[in-house]
């Protein structure tokens, strides 16, 4: 017989830690729906994210290198899938809700602009007098308003716990209970670990892409980056001399493994020290509980600084991105001056959200390729 919802919920109660977020204890959705038959609420959320248009468009958005720069370089989609995998692993080790952690990870970049963080900064500048732009808040906007798949409500109608997890980076998520409005200090442990898994993934895999592109050098990394040097020594000790591709792969794998082990051990110690016994006790705790150790944090800051100096600012990365950023600005300003150039759905939203926000939503949804195509189209026309 197929597994039932009640059986899946019972498994969570049996196997998950007391402070894990159980799907049966979800605060629900904005729009009431019948419960799923063979899935938990968070499994339903995950499927809705994966089947969304915004998720598919991540394939065409920059991670570090402008999309299309190389067949093996990461996109925003491959990065997202890696974050989801790391999130599940950490959640499983800590007996947290893997489905919730994975869903938050899969949705965390749905609102990201084209051209990576530089695109985000440019949109924020262009929207300075109209509410600004921040990709986490845009991810919430995508799942609450912009996705249009269901006949009875806008957005994806995801559970409160997933939406809480997307309102990250110090943004407390409010909970309305009857006439009471309560603001939590922290998000769930699942949300906290998905946030940290994002960092684990992008630093480690940006190293991989930097080496694959030839912009980073292993010998320099050995001398200047402790995270790399420790991992490289462990790989040599365990496997001896390896071909270059295997050596790089196993070194990156070692870095991720050590990051995950550090997060699991440090977080477990914090949970025990805090004495939290429920998911809501985590939310009302004054400090986040998912962390690196202080030593690992310092090493990661060193790695971050090295990547900014030697990869993100490298002309091979920066110059194509800067050209695309100028295109983004010009396309945005052209839409503001000539709203009829927008897509039909975006034009309809002008009455609801105003011109600037409708244009911002439209540009933020674009892939790198479509942005460049639109720039070519618009600047090949006479807009009089």
Nearest to 165 by CA among 336, 282, 302, 310: 282
Kindly report, residue by residue over 114-129, the tens digit of the pLDDT: 998 899 999 999 999 9
CA triple 328-332-338, angle to 5 deg: 140
Nearest to 29 by CA among 18, 16, 44, 9: 44
- Better-predicted residue by pLDDT, 183 or 112: 112
Under the phi-then-psi rule, with left for phi > 0, alpha for psi from -120 to 50, and beta for the rest, what region is 26? beta
Question: What's the rounded mean pLDDT across residues 185-193?
Answer: 94
Domain topology for 1-194: Hypothetical protein af1432 (1.10.3210)
Kindly report, residue by residue over 302-354, the tens digit of the pLDDT: 999 999 999 888 888 888 889 999 999 999 999 999 999 998 989 999 999 99
Helix axes 226-239, 244-274, angle to 10 degrees: 120
> What is the torsion angle, in degrees rounded to the nearest 10, for the CA atoms of residue 268, residue 269, residue 272 and residue 275?
-100
Q: What's the pTM?
A: 0.93
Q: What is the pLDDT of residue 140?
A: 95
Residues 6+ apart with CB under 8 A from 12: 20, 22, 23, 24, 40, 97
Q: Say how far apart CA 160 and CA 158 lie, in whole Å.
A: 7
Q: Say how far apart CA 116 and CA 124 lie, in whole Å.
A: 13
Does the pLDDT value for residue 9 go beyond 90? yes
Contact (CB, 8 A) for 69 and 214: no
Distances (CA, A) of 104 to 50, 167, 223: 11, 10, 37
Task: Give me 67's structure tokens.
Answer: 């999309």
Name the residue with tokens 């051990």.
Answer: 265
Q: Which helix (H) or strand (E) holds 244?
A: helix 244-274
Looking at the DSSP assignment, which residues form a beta bridge with residue 180?
A: 177
Kindly report, residue by residue over 352-376, the tens digit of the pLDDT: 999 999 999 999 999 999 999 999 9
Contact (CB, 8 A) for 20 and 190: yes
Nearest to 58 by CA among 39, 40, 34, 77: 77
Q: 178: pLDDT confidence band, cut at 50, 70 and 90?
A: very low
Q: What is the pLDDT of residue 183?
A: 64
Q: Say how far apart CA 335 and CA 363 lie, in whole Å.
A: 9
Q: What is the pLDDT of residue 116?
A: 87
Contact (CB, 8 A) for 162 and 102: no
Complete DSSP assignment for 298-367: HHHHHHHHHHIIIIITSHHHHHHHHHHHHHHHHHHHHHHH-GGGS-HHHHHHHHHH-HHHHHHHHHHT--
Torsional sign, CA 144, 138, 65, 299: negative
Q: What is the pLDDT of residue 66?
A: 64
Averaged pLDDT of the chain = 91
Q: Say how far apart CA 280 and CA 215 lie, in whole Å.
A: 46
- Better-predicted residue by pLDDT, 173 or 143: 143
The SS3 of residue 62 is strand
Question: What's the rounded mean pLDDT across residues 85-98?
Answer: 98
Nearest to 7 by CA among 35, 33, 38, 28: 38
Q: Where in the chain is the domain with CATH 1.10.3210.10?
A: 1-194
Helix axes 344-353, 355-364, angle to 10 degrees: 140
Q: 205: pLDDT confidence band, cut at 50, 70 and 90?
A: confident
Kindly report, residue by residue over 159-170, the tens digit of the pLDDT: 999 999 998 644
For a pLDDT cut of 70, what percent of the chain falls above it? 93
Question: What's the rounded mean pLDDT across residues 151-178?
Answer: 77
* Residue 328 φ then ψ, to 5°: -60, -45
């Amino acid at each position: 017989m197929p597994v039932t919802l009640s059986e899946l919920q019972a498994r969570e109660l049996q196997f998950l830690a007391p402070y894990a977020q159980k799907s049966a204890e979800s605060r629900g959705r904005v729009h009431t729906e019948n419960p799923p038959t063979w899935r938990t609420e968070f499994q339903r959320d995950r499927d809705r994210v994966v089947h969304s248009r915004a998720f598919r468009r991540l394939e065409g958005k920059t991670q570090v290198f402008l999309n299309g720069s190389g067949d093996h370089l990461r996109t925003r989609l491959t990065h997202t899938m890696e974050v989801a995998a790391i999130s599940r692993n950490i959640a499983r080790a800590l007996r947290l809700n893997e489905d919730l952690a994975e869903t938050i990870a899969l949705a965390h970049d749905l609102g990201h602009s084209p051209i990576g963080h530089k695109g985000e900064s440019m949109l924020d500048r262009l929207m300075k007098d109209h509410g600004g732009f921040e990709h986490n808040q845009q991810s919430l906007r995508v799942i609450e308003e912009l996705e249009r798949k269901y006949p009875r409500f806008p957005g994806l109608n995801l559970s409160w716990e997933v939406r809480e997890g997307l309102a990250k980076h110090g943004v407390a998520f409010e909970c309305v209970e009857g006439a009471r409005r309560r603001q939590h200090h922290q998000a769930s442990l699942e949300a906290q670990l998905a946030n940290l898994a994002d960092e684990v993934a992008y630093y480690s895999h940006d190293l991989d892409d930097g080496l694959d592109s030839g912009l980073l050098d292993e010998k320099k990394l050995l001398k200047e980056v402790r995270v790399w040097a420790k991992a490289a020594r462990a790989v040599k000790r365990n496997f001896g001399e390896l071909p270059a591709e295997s050596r790089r792969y196993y070194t990156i794998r070692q870095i991720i493994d050590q990051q995950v082990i550090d997060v699991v051990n440090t977080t477990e110690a914090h949970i025990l020290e805090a004495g939290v016994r429920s998911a809501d006790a985590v939310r009302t705790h004054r400090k986040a509980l998912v962390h690196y150790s202080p030593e690992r944090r310092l090493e990661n800051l060193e790695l971050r600084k090295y990547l900014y100096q030697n990869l993100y600012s490298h002309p091979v990365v920066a110059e194509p991105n800067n050209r695309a950023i100028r295109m983004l600005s010009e396309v945005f300003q052209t839409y503001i001056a000539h709203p009829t150039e927008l897509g039909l759905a975006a034009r309809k939203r002008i009455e609801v959200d105003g011109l600037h926000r409708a244009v911002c939503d439209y540009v933020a949804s674009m892939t790198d390729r479509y942005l460049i195509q639109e720039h070519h189209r618009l600047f090949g026309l006479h807009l009089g």
